[in-house]
Structure 1
Amino acid sequence: MALSPILAGWLDASAAGLDAGAVAPSELLPRLAAADLFRIGAPASLGGAGGGTFDVVETIAAVSERSLAAGFVFWGHRAYVEYLLQSPNAALRDRLLPDLFAGRVAGATGLSNAMKFLAGLEELQVSARAEGGRLRLDGKLPWVTNLRAEGFHVAAAVSGPDGRPFVASVAHDRAGVIRSPDLDLMALRSTSTAALRFEDVNVGPDEVIAPDALDWCPKVRPAFLGFQIGMSIGLARRSLAEARSAAGAGRHALGTELDATAERLQAGTDALRKGLAEGAFVARPAELFRIRIALAEAANDAVGLELQASGGKCYLAGPGEGFARRWREAAFLPVITPSLVQLKAALAAQGEPTGRAA
């Protein structure tokens, strides 16, 4: 997936600032939207550009090659768009999609808690009670990205009044929605990542994305995790390219390791493409979990090889700036929810192997 020269140039020039928080978060979403990236994978009949789920993965990978902070925001926004595309609530979809495609308002996934809930790792942290035909929400989402100060909609999995979970969309300006200051991250700081608290938040049936989360979430999980895996693919590709281009005595000794890591990356990417195309991951999520684990590990290995290939210059502030950023970015991949530890725990609980997909 080739990005437009304008966007690619801006990402290259802004990557360090997006990581350190020196670039205003308000700049990023409109830049991605101006290149029509959020329309990829959405039907033309709904204002999209067509294509499939893996086209979105490849686009997120292309952005993440230049800036994982940008890829992270892309993932969160496009995941929320995907929720609307797979929602039975056509009125909500038709009302929100134009502004989301154009980057005028942010979409925040908010369903990390739900994905852990599905895997038996965590209870839902938002609950609802019925009142006068409406629903009143209370609870928290401790870590959500793309909560732009200029406006956002967030998807939240909610334990309903009858105990059955559903997924609601909550707007930033609804009374009782309390956003924390941006989290004090060690990297990826221009991503509008914060915590949310809901205190007696009023939502109606017209704001329900999915009335039955237990049925709906497994169907959207392949896109949620697949888009997320795009970040690992992009970072791994970039670090492998940097390692191969590095010159220096004895660096040829890394050729075998570089080739092996590249082969693992390609095998995992091919398995992801095939599984998404066939719809295999709805019934067999363990396969998707193993791909997520394998490609996050491949990205971390690739960054380590970049360090070895480039040598001491990576430890100099100037020449090593790009590497240092990628090192911090790689540290995020194992912990983004669901974390590798959580996925391995879920696989172990199901008696599934946790080894690398290939």
Structure 2
Amino acid sequence: MNGTAMSTALTVATALATRATDLAQRQSPSAFTIGIDFDQVIHDDFDGWRDGAIYGPPIPGAIEALHRLLRAGWSLFVMTARHPRQHEAIAQWLREYLHWEVIVDDQDPERAYWHGPELLVTSRKFGALAYIDDKALPFQSWETVLEGLPARPDTSARTAGTAAAVPAADTAVPAWFADADATYQQQRAEQDADTHTALRHQADQINTLLDKLGISPVRRSEVGRGLFLVPALLLQAAEDGNGNEVQATWDTRFEHVALAVREAEDLPTGTARIVGALSDLADIAKARYAPVPPARPAAGTDPRAIALAALTRRVDADCLSPDAYAVTTAINGLTAAIVLATSSAGTQS
């Protein structure tokens, strides 16, 4: 960081510290909240708009920064200019990378602040200590703002030499689309209701079995407000590394209650891995000390996004499609065999 950047950072930090103290003294809810832009701050839409698709990997350092802020107790909301119909897709993208509860703003007109442990996706700008945005200009005075703004782009070159200006395209939404959109929203509401019912059944199955086994979990299973299953937390990871975090979850492959584990070093971002079915208390003790199985990526992901994500991050199993994962596993196995054979040959010689 050069001298100018360091001076600017210190000026901003000093201003934020003063503002935080002032808001806290006035007991303002915004003293504990930060608003963060989505595109080009959290999500790398490196190939432009692409019809609104959420296809890119996280901006380097974004996931780690969000976890650091959330663990420190900040209330965070993600601001976006995208249409509200895309907010759930944004929330799902954040859940997959962040492994944190993410909810979509319900547009409550009475809400002026956001204060909660969940990450909120919204198109509204709530009261906050600070807003993190790649297009923002820090306001000190109008004089500095006007000096910082570039000149307005000259559009005369685009129309020079033409007989008449090209009429603007009609962007009005046709009447029939309102009916189509209403039908889509109804279908989506029905799908969400079906999904909630299925998840509620899974959570009930998990909690019923825990009650039957006489287990009092740290956290019972429930349905997250973003329509996802929250596993029951049975045991927290041992700080000395000699014990996994153990969860009771639902195995969609075999349709039964299963145990999933995470090592202490995988917290808080690591994904829990299923190690087997839950049938008795001994299964939990076994899972506590079981080796965590390797990650297996889900099918149906965008190969192009996977490849680009792999190029911008360290390459591991989570960056590969199922077919690529199988090939990589085979290559690793052959490599291990060659190394073993070479070692054996060297020993014999």
TM range (shorter): under 0.3
Query: Rg bigger for which structure?
Result: 2
| Structure in which a larger fraction of residues adopt helix | 1
Specify which structure has the bigger relative contact order, considering alpha-carbon pairs within 8 angstroms and separated by 6 or more residues: 1
**TM-score if structure 1 supplies the norm length?**
0.26
